[in-house]
Amino acid sequence: MKKYIGPIALTIYILSSISFNSIAQKSAEKPNIIYIYADDLGYGELGSYGQTKIKTPHLDQMAKEGMRFTQHYSSAPVCAPSRCMLMTGKHGGNSYIRGNYEMGGFEDNTEGGQMPLHEGAYTIPKMLKTLGYSTALIGKWGMGVVGSTGSPLNHGFDYYYGYLDQKQAHNHYPTHLWENDRWDSLNNSFIYVHKPIDSTKATDADFDYYRGKDFAADKMTEKAIQFINKHSKEPFFLYLPYTIPHLSLQAPEEYVKKYIGQFDEKPYYGQKGYAATKYPLSTYAAMITYLDDQVGIIMEKIKKLGIDNNTIIMFSSDNGATFSAGVDTKFFNSVSGLRGLKMDVYEGGISVPFIARWPGKIQPNTTSNHSSVQYDLMATIAEITGTNPGKTDGISFLPTLTGKKNNQKIHDFLYFEYPENGGQLAVRLGDWKGVKRNVRKEPNGAWELYNIASDRKETTNVASLHPDIIQKISETAKKAHTHPVVMDWEFVDPKTKK
């Protein structure tokens, strides 16, 4: 005998079914988002970007299965401001953090971190929390330590694990990492990585001092896999800023052995800071290959869980390749011949690899020359998830990712402001790029001008030929700049000079 359902009950049943189905459909439309961030990885250090000496098969495969960008920029040429601008969608003229404002020391008992991000900052994870996303940071934060306003728990992350202090991250075998504001001890003794060794007396034991048992990045991947497993049936955002290949030169021995004998190399004794290593070229290559393997592990996990088609994975670097302490960027052609390195606003300091993979949404094996920048990420994720990014300097590049080039909005300008290394500015207007260096000493100094379309390596300064373009660039820079919260970072506005 069939049970009678009255008209009111039937209406409630139908409405609840519609509501449940719409919620389920809405949940299915929310893709998982994984953003993997390398540390000091140069534009030319992946096989898909022309690298020939370092093996990166997983990232090369990711490029074949997704889209590779050729004109993508970090927001700044060093760690902390790049990370701040990435998370908040602000360029260097508006960002709360604009330089590496270091505090404390390298020893465990003096761990002080960098300038803390203010508690009221609107970040990507805060934005995604309003949509029901589970959020995690696993890797290097660099925007405040435990007990400060900068703790990741204050900025929309449900969970975090890794380094809070950039100086601690100079050592890939630390005594501890941080997990939700709690100290997590690793099986390593304290290593002062900036202690050089005597080249005339160096033994294998001296080099062994810089090795530990627990490699920090191993722990990061382990925690990332745990987070993905736990949240695979709900939308999640995983920000995965690995500390590789940032100095010190340290890598698991099995990876270093893959390269020993391939290069003509001499030991690095730590004379320019960071850990000494017997095989600097092999170790650097090993670090990047190791990082590539971690990306492979993450991608394989996503496939095994059956969430591949509903997960967008992005990969980039916080700035260009570094310039010292055993790293030979010329040998590896780390920035593909571009001018400058880390701490420069020339192309080599801020041009970075960017690969995005999203099966069914991003056409495989595609390349884009769309001019984009990491402070675009917040706007892009907002459009992906159908939410409001708030006040941002970025422009979503989702139309480019999904092959809808005709719908892609273009920046009026890209702006870079870096208060360190003499004080530097860069403005890109279309194919024109203006660069101004040593602004602290020469606030009225001349702009350099390059046509990026015809002179990507910035070899020929054509400023004298285009005074009209220089005027536009100068005016743009003045409009883009606001006063920073740290007056040490103010090098643009002469009214603030003492």
Shared domain check, 310 and 459: no
Residue 214 confidence (pLDDT) above 80 = yes
d(CA 12, CA 78): 57
Q: Residue 17: inside a domain, yes or no?
A: no
Q: What is the pLDDT of residue 6?
A: 54
Shared domain check, 381 and 432: no
Q: Residue 5: inside a domain, yes or no?
A: no
Q: Which residue type is seen at 469? A: I
Residue 474 confidence (pLDDT) above 60 = yes
Q: Where residue 324 sits, what CATH number does that domain have?
A: 3.40.720.10
> Treating both helix axes as pointing N-terminal to C-terminal, what angle do 57-64 and 280-304 enclose, rounded to 10 degrees?
50
Which helix (H) or strand (E) covers residue 366, if one does? strand 366-368
Residue 4 confidence (pLDDT) above 70 = no
Q: Residue 386: inside a domain, yes or no?
A: yes
Residue 113 confidence (pLDDT) above 90 = yes
Shared domain check, 131 and 87: yes
Q: What is the pLDDT of residue 498?
A: 54
Residue 346 confidence (pLDDT) above 80 = yes
Please provide residue 146's backbone torsions phi and psi, each rounded to the nearest 5 degrees.
-55, 135
Shared domain check, 446 and 392: no
Shared domain check, 325 and 191: yes
d(CA 373, CA 354): 10
Residue 497 confidence (pLDDT) above 80 = no
Which helix (H) or strand (E) covers residue 103, if one does? strand 102-104
Q: Residue 145: inside a domain, yes or no?
A: yes
Q: Answer with the one of 377, 407, 437 that is the final residue of a domain.
A: 407
Shared domain check, 47 and 130: yes
Lowest mean pLDDT among 28-32, 51-55, 131-135: 28-32
Q: Answer with the one of 346, 374, 407 that is the final residue of a domain.
A: 407
Partners of residue 448 on adjacent β-strands: 435
Q: Which residue type is seen at 148? A: S
Residue 384 confidence (pLDDT) above 80 = yes
Q: Residue 346: inside a domain, yes or no?
A: yes
- Cα distances (Å, whole numbers) of residue 456 to 71, 332, 433, 453, 459: 10, 19, 10, 6, 8
**Alpha carbon 117 to chain centroid distance?**
16
Q: What is the pLDDT of residue 397?
A: 98
**Averaged pLDDT, 153-178:** 98
Q: What sign does the CA torsion over 452, 457, 460, 464 have?
A: positive
Shared domain check, 447 and 352: no
Q: Where residue 439 sits, what CATH number does that domain have?
A: 3.30.1120.10
**Averaged pLDDT, 102-107:** 93
Q: What is the pLDDT of residue 496?
A: 65
d(CA 280, CA 277): 6
Q: What angle do CA 458, 75, 46 make, to 5 degrees?
A: 70
Shared domain check, 458 and 380: no
| H helices present in 38-189, as ranges | 57-64, 79-88, 124-129
Residue 336 confidence (pLDDT) above 80 = yes
Q: What is the pLDDT of residue 133?
A: 98
d(CA 261, CA 3): 80
- Count of the separate structural domains present in the chain: 2
Residue 14 confidence (pLDDT) above 60 = no
Residue 157 confidence (pLDDT) above 50 = yes
Shared domain check, 386 and 463: no
Q: Residue 445: inside a domain, yes or no?
A: yes
Q: Answer with the one of 407, 439, 456 that is the final residue of a domain.
A: 407
Strand, helix or coil at 335? coil
Q: What are 168-181's pLDDT values in tens digits?
A: 999 999 999 999 99
Structural domain range at position 135: 31-407
Residue 26 confidence (pLDDT) above 60 = no
Instruction: Report the candidate in 349, 356, 376 with the shortest Cα–Cα distance to residue 40.
Output: 349
**Do 353 and 46 contact (CB within 8 A), yes or no?**
yes
pLDDT band at 18 (very low <50, low <70, confident <90, very high): very low
Q: What is the pLDDT of residue 495?
A: 75
Beta strand pairing call for 414-418 and 424-429:
antiparallel
Q: Residue 171: inside a domain, yes or no?
A: yes
**Averaged pLDDT, 431-439:** 98
What length does the chain have?
498
Shared domain check, 79 and 133: yes
Shared domain check, 155 and 64: yes
- Cα distances (Å, whole numbers) of residue 410 to 122, 405, 407: 24, 10, 10
Strand order in the sheet with 67-69: 182-185, 176-179, 159-163, 134-140, 236-241, 32-38, 311-317, 354-357, 67-69, 366-368
Beta strand pairing call for 32-38 and 311-317:
parallel
Q: What is the pLDDT of residue 20?
A: 38
The pair of three-digit structure tokens given for residue 234, joined into one six-digit string: 């709900």
Shared domain check, 354 and 320: yes
Q: Residue 439: inside a domain, yes or no?
A: yes
d(CA 288, CA 273): 20
The pair of three-digit structure tokens given for residue 486, joined into one six-digit string: 């740290």
